Amino acid sequence: MTDINDLIQPDRGQDAIAIHLINKAGFEDFAKGLSAGQQASLKAQKFEGVAGSVGIVPDGDSFFAVGGVANTDTLTNYCLASLATKLPEGTYRLVDTQPGAAVFGWLTAHYCFSRYKTEEKVVGPRILLTEQVGRLPGYIAEAQAEMLVRDLVNTPAEDMGPAALEDEFKKLAKEHGADLKVTRGDELEQGYPMVHAVGRAAARKHDPRILHLEWGSKDAPVLAIVGKGVCFDSGGLDIKPAAGMRLMKKDMGGAAHAIALAGLVMGAGLNVRLHLIAPAVENAISGPAFRPGDVLSSRKGLTVEIHNTDAEGRLILGDALTRASEEKPELIIDFATLTGAARVALGPDYAAMMARSDETSDALIEAGRASGDEPWRLPLPESYREYLNSDVADIVNAQSNPYAGASVAGLFLDRFVEEGIDWVHFDTFAWRPFPKPGRSKGGTAYGLRASWHMLRNRFGS
């Protein structure tokens, strides 16, 4: 794939192909200014200004492009994405406007996961010019963060196991001068017993670990970002059916989100003391696998009865959230591909979000709407806490009824976050089953940009 930095370039008056943006209401007036041949060309292409449509118009020895958008006065994140994929390679300039937020979709539309494909001929880059040079670093950073999540989630589990996640942490630490502590082996078993229990059945090269990166001034407000890093989930002894296991390489999508968000925070130099924490495991099946009916200890001291070994993500997050709480953070955000219930409720386009604070929840929703990444808040009802009662331990890891599965999973996590801490939980899908312009099928970030824009507003200068 072309270097993302080359896809958006400063407009210095260089030669470029014009793009006229038109909505359906304005198409008739626009067409009146064209020659009969040009009108015929657009008619043949069935271009009428519908949002997302693209037309190529001959103009002497060259051509210009037309792009349908919903609103020509306000360009949204993905309104230019169809142009970025359907136009021939070349350098382009919007007529009478600047791309603004639509840069994000222009960039992400060029994404292609080709790590395992033999080289094939692809269309060259479509370069867009802009006069908004000062905004380019921010636009590019957000697109890079999105593409990082896609790359990490799309990579098969054999090449994206706990050790590979550790390598991603090492890259971040080196790039930003952060400190990294990796906990594994006996120290993990003692300090993070649920993480150890979930991951102990994996092959040695995929052994479980806690990855903990620290960055920023020690006098700054503490921000903790936690991500579920189940690099592959067989379901454990409560094994998943084949169809359910097919996409379980994406079960580390929460950690991918956390890594990408932390990179944005450090890259922008936000005034925070950052703690990035990811429990990295494979939920495998072998002799040492934990069992239904087992009672696990936890870092917090709570005991957990195992009703289902396929509800393992909340176990490792429980230990990680306990560790995050020990830093007395001003805010904890966790990301996890946690429940199918969230997908049933919201489908593939929204991240389910649970939050203790109405103010923080409202800020995230507002930031998400503005950035095309709106989360949807689900409740944490006190009345459902009883679904986690156990006859033999402090709590069970999976309810015995089919109701409110996403919220009940959130309530489980809530038990491991210290009272009084502002905490947000994203139950993210991390996967797009159907492509849309600028949003390829496969690994995808949900809630990442909403979180980033909220954090920038809250902790930025």
Query: Which active-site residues does the annotation give?
Result: 240, 314
Task: Give the Å distances, CA to CA, from 256 to 18, 36, 209, 447.
Answer: 38, 52, 16, 12
* 218: three-class secondary structure by DSSP: coil
Residue 11, classified by CB atoms within 10 Å of its CB into exposed (0-12), middle (13-18) or buried (19+), is middle
Per DSSP bridges, beta strands 126-130 and 8-10 are parallel
Among 393, 391, 199, which residue's Cα sits nearest to residue 313? 199
Among 191, 192, 215, 325, which residue's Cα sits nearest to residue 271? 215
* Long-range Cβ contacts of 54-61 (<8 Å, 24+ apart): 54/82, 54/83, 54/86, 54/87, 56/87, 56/88
Q: How far is Cα 82 from Cα 102, in angstroms, rounded to an integer?
A: 11
Q: How far is Cα 168 from Cα 159, in angstroms, rounded to an integer?
A: 12
Compute the Cα dihedral for 35, 41, 42, 43 and give only its sign.
Answer: positive
User: Look-up: residue for tokens 């991951």?
Assistant: 199
Residue 199, classified by CB atoms within 10 Å of its CB into exposed (0-12), middle (13-18) or buried (19+), is buried
